[in-house]
Amino acid sequence: MVDVETKIDKLLTEPLVIVNVGLSKFAKSLEEQGVDVIQVDWMPPAGGDKEMMDLLDELL
Amino acid sequence: MPSGFAIRKNQYYDSVFLMSVNARILKVEGIQQTAVLMGSPANKKLLLDIGIQDPDIEAAQPNDLIVAVIADSMGIINQVLGNLDVWLNAIQEEAPVSQLHTLEDGLTIKSNANLAMISIPGEYAAREARKALEAGLNVFIFSDNVSIEGELELKHLAKQRGLLVMGPDCGTSLINGMGLGFANAIRRGDIGAIGAAGTGLQEFTAQVHNHGFGISHAIGTGSHDLSDQIGGLTTLAVLDALEEDANTKVITIISKPPGAATLEHLLEKIGSCRKPVVGCFLGVDPDILSGRNNLKPARTIDEAARLAIKMSGNPIPLEVCLSPDDLKLLFDEKAGWSPEQKYLRGILAGGTFCYQSQQILRDAGITVYSNNPLEPKNKLKSPDKSIQHTFIDMGDEFYMVGKPHPMIDGTMRRQRIITESHDPQMAILYLDFILGYNASMDPVGELVDAIDKAKSVCKQRGGSLTVVASICGTGDDPQDLTFQMKMLQDSGVLVYDSNAKATAACCWLLGKE
């Protein structure tokens, strides 16, 4: 329980460092606010084939 | 009506890009409907629903771009699809490109990251969120269409690991003064907030700011969090965190109606909090909330803001009802109506605003029909056809098929305003405008021509259309609040600084104070 409080507390007290997966405009607006953010232009792995994605997850 | 489509194999684009393409195509004269989307199974079903089917579409993969067009003639369709690459390239040049394509790529650059923001198609979002949690990151999931089972699994995983999951379907959060998603520019302060209703949380934080006070953190939980299936797992975790947060003096919870069991559990938890809690549970019977230990119930978001300011140890802002000047303007507006004008039409971008307005109107004894009604008996048979007093949530899924949300692009609302203007019984048109990060940079400018046209159509019939508007925003937002307001006023629109106040003006106009 102490661990739970500590980890979420940290999010509220320490500077945000964000990995933005998807819409690049979200990363842009965070940058404009001075947030440390990196943009990931995500695309579906394995061509979006769900079965293949599950297989990849098991292998990795 | 003629239709056509084009497929680009292995060209993946995010939803904002797709919406930009969609918006450009819609501006071509003679275009009736467009769908610009990736070839996922869900999207292919949507195409089927609008009558677009072909073996090539069936064979398309989630990494394949599909552009479908319905237009007045094949000539227009050929013109659009023939120029598609030019448009795609032009829009692509406007957006910077990242060489990182997976969460893992991002974490190699930012190994100290403490939050992943996920805004990808819902069918893939849970997978990425799970990976982020397993890597020790808190998660903000903007994506919708994650299954309830998927959401529950993520939130249990987060609880085990001591992490926070905001969402799925989380539109906004403010952490340490930084706005995530659709958030307003809000000063720091000592009022904390938790919101299961995105535009509700924006309205609350903007109200606190505009009264001269500030927010410690405002955390979005996602729209399903307070359902009985999820049981408020994120809300309860944030409540604990804000209890421990040294910068938070008072906690406010804003939501649409929670599940009955979840509400009861939440109220028990609130009762044991050391810090005072203001609860604005829209649509919930006030009797359920009265007399609860440590809870100050608020009927509206405006009241919640005033109560939170008071509970944080400051003088309570005056409850500003309609002023004598407001009433004179309303009286003059009403005097111009023709005898047949009697109905109110709300065409809203904010789902919470649509909900709160209906609650205020119901409390005033006014029956309102909606695509998202308070009670099932008031549900419109067709969202496209208003009857009597009608409020439309234009951000509803029905309108979002391959289209941008009305907070980003006003095209759908513009079209609806013109449609409504042809109903001679419409007397009042109510519109909300939402400023802030990631929202349209000119929400009023996008609609002002349609407003002028609607007023003109009504005038030609011998009547006068009263247009009421509310603006959710602050003077620090990226848009120019003062200019946005002035544009409305110059078009003869009655502008109010909150949804509740604008709805109160509508009640007065309908003779129900």
Q: What is the pLDDT of residue B343?
A: 98
Q: Which residues of B touch A11 (CB under 8 A)?
A: 114-115, 138, 164, 175, 241
Q: For residues B127 and B104, is the Cβ–Cβ distance under 8 A?
A: no
**Type of residue at B191:** I
Q: What is the pLDDT of residue B1?
A: 87
Q: Which of A6, A12, A32 is the best substitution to test chain B (most B C-beta atoms within 10 A)? A: A12
Picking from B439, B460, B507, B442, the residue whose alpha carbon sits closest to that of residue B184 is B439
For B128, the closest chain A residue by CA position comes to A21
Residues in CB range of B61: below 8 A, 6 or more apart: A47, A48, A49, B9, B39
In this predicted model, what pLDDT tens digit does every residue of A27-58 receive, in sequence order? 999 999 999 999 999 988 776 677 777 777 76
For B219, the closest chain A residue by CA position comes to A12
Half-sphere exposure of B336 (CA within 13 A, CB side): 18
Picking from B102, B348, B438, B492, the residue whose alpha carbon sits closest to that of residue A53 is B102
| Of residues A7, A19, A38, nearest to B162 (C-beta) | A7
Q: What is the pLDDT of residue A6?
A: 63
* ipTM reported for the complex surpasses 0.90: no
Residues of chain B with confidence (pLDDT) below 50: none
Q: What is the pLDDT of residue B90?
A: 81
Q: What is the pLDDT of residue A1?
A: 44
Q: For residues B225 and B196, is the Cβ–Cβ distance under 8 A?
A: yes
List A residues 1-60 in contact with B (Cβ-Cβ < 8 A): 3-27, 29-30, 32-36, 38-45, 47-49, 53, 57
Q: What is the pLDDT of residue B405?
A: 86
- The pTM score is 0.91
Tell how strand B31-38 and strand B65-71 pair up. Answer: antiparallel
In this predicted model, what pLDDT tens digit does every residue of B319-365 receive, in sequence order? 778 889 999 999 999 999 999 999 999 999 999 999 999 999 999 99
A8 and B100 within 8 Å at the Cβ level: the answer is no
In degrees and rounded to multiples of 5, residue B280 shows phi and psi of -115, 90
